Structure 1
């Protein structure tokens, strides 16, 4: 989803109309969830031109758009060269066979939680991509099928958003209790390679940063990634060639974000609430079900004198 670099002269009336229409047509939610007017009210008059550029760059993925991107990611597996290299028949028949035989699982935190967003996208695969309920497994079940039953059916991890890629790599490397032994997907893949029966593993997130994609490729060799939308580094508010700002205002815009973040007491680091966003990704995005910690806190921070643009459920 390319973002054109904005002109230095941002039409204020057009931006206001855009925000109003996005809410009217339900691209953006009601003001109780996303309030552009209240957020702009945080800024002094002198800072408003830059604040409007920041607002103009914000990308909000509602449920419908996120679901469409996710289904595109899942279907995109069929155009990956490694997927095609494993198959020599009719591509449509091969895809149908693949989809009916694959095990679908999801990424979890250190302590798996029913609220993990992977559950939502496993259900989306069932409801919108023709995957049966029986194919959806939690990570332990998927790993047991590989380690105990010797199943070599394709494994597809599903997700909404990849920022740093850490959550996937941690799921991949995490040791689970499998048949009384500590075992990981990483070890299972290595063992399968040595046995000459390599695992076929895919990861299908709706939205993925280039940073996260590179991180996963480096730490999880053999995992093929098909994303519905890939955000390159220039979507970072702090990138030297950031697409968020007009070319003439990059330095001024970045200085504004830094100044206001420090004034709010946000740490000058790459932590979850650090002013640069988690891992320094500096994004300006939100989803209907959450705002990633890779998004700069100025959009999501709440304080007595600071109203967030987006409010999580």
Structure 2
């Protein structure tokens, strides 16, 4: 029998999906994922994770990316007059004597996957970026004084991947005052890393996440708020036991870099999120595909 509190959580999750807030996350997919948790603490934990999942549709990614691009355009404007008199999209489209180039990061020497394709499509369809303005970081392009290059992606969390790409393509990326990073979502750990390692490369983002968005911090809130009624069976301990039983080839309970995020996109999920959300094994089916 499902407890009354679990039933409330389940209804809240179903409502989030049925209202379109988590479109197109299917209830059937969630049911399959939930069946892998035993009743009691495991099932409550799964429902709490679903309830507090940060899920972003393509439209929401577009909205956050718009904010990031606005900040970027105003930052690079050559003078205060352009900032005060010109609409940021005019600056983006080159009406302030600046030409912008954008490059989704390459992954392991290949073209970007789903996230890169989404960003390229948004740039072209929504922001009127032309094909000739798309350059990958590894290109041999040199920047003139009125050109700017922005590496662009859906999100950066630990900052590791983008940092490695910058180091590998330092000829283009390390041009003080001429390059930057644009993402829809940035985690404070990535921002701290860039401030430390690449102070000359600004990061423009539409949404910011912090350590308080991770499972460790959120589970403490569940306990304080009375959402977790299991006494000494702490949420993180229960979670780690489920990961062990899942039999993953590589154990990363809190995801890459240990951030413990519960974030996913309509087009996929970063491996910085909880391993139970994206990894698979002979005995475990993930909620999201990578």
Task: Please give the alpha-carbon distance, in whole angstroms, between the structure 1 residues aligned to 2:212 and 2:10.
Answer: 25
* Cα separation, 2, equivalents of 1:118 and 1:266: 27
**What is the alpha-carbon distance in structure 1 between the residues aligned to residue 7 and residue 150 of structure 2?**
45
- Per-residue CA shift, 1:113-134, capped at 9, x if unaligned? 2526334313312211232332
More RCO (CA 8 Å, sep 6+): 1
Distance 1:73 1:118 in 2: 16
1:308 lines up with 2:286 in the alignment: yes
Measured against aligned partners, the alpha-carbon deviations of 1:181-219 in whole angstroms (never above 9, x if no partner) come to: xx6335x42xxxxxxxx4322211111111112112222
Contact preservation (8 Å) 1:237, 1:284: yes
Aligned counterpart in structure 1 of residue 234 of structure 2, from 248, 252, 265: 252
User: What SS class does the counterpart of residue 69 from structure 2 fall into?
Assistant: helix
1:164 paired to 2:164: no
| In structure 1, C-alpha distance between the alignment counterparts of 2:114 and 2:278, rounded to whole Å | 20
Larger CA deviation: 19-28 vs 59-68: 19-28
Question: Relative to 1, partners in 2 of residues 1:30 and 1:130: Cα closer, same or farther, differing over 3 Å?
Answer: closer
Q: 1:164 Cα deviation (Å)?
A: 1.4
1:67 corresponds to 2:62: yes
**Residue 50 (str. 1) matches residue 36 (str. 2):** no
Distance 1:281 1:153, change over 3 A: same
Aligned to 1:105: 103
Find the counterpart in structure 2 of residue 126 from structure 1. 124
Contact 2:247 2:282 in 1 (8 A): no
Deviates more, 1:46-55 or 1:224-233: 46-55
Q: What SS class does the counterpart of residue 226 from structure 1 fall into?
A: strand
Structure 2 counterparts to residues 183-202 of structure 1, below 5 A: 184-185=171-172, 188-189=174-175, 198-202=176-180
Residues of 2 paired with 1:145 and 1:251: CA distance? Answer: 57
Kept in 2, the 8 Å contact 1:33–1:311? The answer is no
- TM-score normalized with structure 2 length: 0.82
Q: Is the 8 A contact 2:17 2:27 kept in 1?
A: no
The 5 Å alignment of 1:94-243 reads 95=88, 96-100=90-94, 101-115=99-113, 117-141=115-139, 143-146=140-143, 150-175=144-169, 184-185=171-172, 188-189=174-175, 198-239=176-217
Q: What is residue 79 of structure 2 aligned with on the other side?
A: 87
Matched, 1:275 2:253: yes
Q: Rate the CA distance shift 1:52–1:108 in 2: closer, same or farther, 3 A.
A: same
* CA deviation map 1:249-282 (0-9, x unaligned): 5971111111111222347xxx7x5112101111
Cα contact 2:262–2:273 (8 A) shared by 1: yes
| Cα-Cα RMSD | 2.9
- TM-aligned CA deviation for residue 291 of structure 1: 1.3
Residue number in structure 2 paired with 1:39:
33
Unaligned runs of 5+ in 1: 1-8, 176-182, 190-197
TM-score by length of 1: 0.76
SS in 2 for 1:309: coil
1:66 & 1:286 partners in 2: Cα distance?
11
Give 1:226 shift. 1.4
Which of residues 238, 247, 264 is equivalent to 1:286?
264
Q: What is the count of residue pairs matched by the alignment? A: 276
Q: Tell me the CA shift for residue 10 of structure 1.
A: 8.4
Could you list the runs of 5+ residues in structure 2 that have no partner in the other structure? none
